[in-house]
Amino acid sequence: MGMLTNSLSQGALIQSEEARAGSQRAFRSAVRVPRGAAVNRAAITYRPNTAVRQRNMQQFVARLRRVDPAGAADLQRTFARRDLVAEIGGAMRPVGLNPDNVADAMAMYLVAAYYGVRGSVDSKPSDYRAVSAQMARAISTAPGFANASDALKQEIAESMLVQALLVDQAVQAAQRQPSAMPSIKAAIAKGARGAFGFDVAKMRLGPNGLS
């Protein structure tokens, strides 16, 4: 549980500085953009590339290794056994979400983190759709996203999906080992703060997304 806790708390560090800055810009826009704002579909979607995915996974591990070698080794073993992005993508499509959509990927992580800091995995499809719509509006108006490369958008999306899956797995493990839950909640909160710059424990989730 210790290595997983470290990976969750350092989650933002698996992103490049450019990707992390993009995530934070998007969330800052999300809390200001009106519900009626137009969505730029070209800004929120990307064409996935297998070579880019492999590079992303390698770089996620390399960045985490700088601060948490044991957690990085654990993550590398996980990547060697499983295609986490494909797994979570398979779970997204039945509820109308697209793993190749940055807003949908951000929603997967944000909703997982929202419930995770509350010790729960009891999210609903409507939660993801609400946050995705909120993030789609935000990304459409956030500086830089309209001209972002597919590779950058893929990095942001895949880092969100990997972290979402790790959050859910950590909470489920802590539910079986309640003594670990406080540290898991704290690690999730720290990771979300690093990725998006806000305290997810203080947010509220409703039909209009996070506020």
With a cut of 90, say whether residue 161 has pLDDT above it: yes
> Mean pLDDT score of the chain, rounded to an integer?
86
- Is the separation of the CB atoms in 139 and 29 below 8 Å? yes
Residue-level pLDDT at 136: 94
Residue-level pLDDT at 171: 95
pLDDT tens digit string along 54-107? Answer: 999 999 888 888 877 888 898 899 899 989 899 899 999 999 999 999 999 999
Place of tokens 């950590």: 170
What's the average model confidence in pLDDT over 98-123? 96
Q: Which residues contact 117 (CB under 8 A, 6 or more apart)?
A: 185, 188, 189, 192, 200, 201
Residue-level pLDDT at 25: 65
- Is the separation of the CB atoms in 189 and 201 below 8 Å? yes
* DSSP bridge pairs for 205: 210
Residue-level pLDDT at 147: 82
Residue-level pLDDT at 19: 65
Residue-level pLDDT at 15: 64
Confidence of residue 196 (pLDDT cuts 50, 70, 90): confident
∠ CA 69-73-79 to the nearest 5 degrees?
140
Residue-level pLDDT at 178: 95
Residue-level pLDDT at 32: 63
Lowest mean pLDDT among 37-41, 129-133, 147-151: 37-41
Percent of the chain with pLDDT over 90: 54
Output the six-digit token pair for 120: 């729960």
Residue-level pLDDT at 60: 87
Question: What is the C-alpha to C-alpha distance for residues 57 and 179, in angstroms, rounded to an integer?
Answer: 31
